[in-house]
Amino acid sequence: MPKYCRGLTGYAEIEKNLISAVKQISKAGVLLMGVGADNPAIRDYFTVSCVLENPYQMMKFFEVLS
């Protein structure tokens, strides 16, 4: 886990469980995309990822599509 994320959660072994779940779901043929808000750590866990400065960036994107 990246240094800047350590100790930020009370969920024991969250990194281990996340990596295991992502691998298992990916092997089943599901394309996963990780989206993180103002935290590039998501790139460490997902092959396809997007890091936003804030959640409003995503809202603006979907607003344009509708």
Mean pLDDT by groups of 10 residues along the chain of 66 residues: 56 84 93 84 86 84 71
DSSP label of 57: H
Q: Provide the whole-model pTM.
A: 0.59
Distance CA 66, CA 64 (A): 6
Specify the pLDDT at position 9: 59
| Residues sharing a CB contact under 8 Å with residue 63, sequence separation 6 or more, in sequence order | none
Strand partners, 34: 49
Specify the pLDDT at position 58: 82
Distance CA 15, CA 18 (A): 5
Specify the pLDDT at position 6: 55
Specify the pLDDT at position 30: 94
Specify the pLDDT at position 5: 56
Q: Which domain holds residue 27?
A: 3-65
In the chain, the number of structural domains is: 1
Residue 42 burial class via C-beta count within 10 angstroms: exposed 0-12, middle 13-18, buried 19 and up: middle
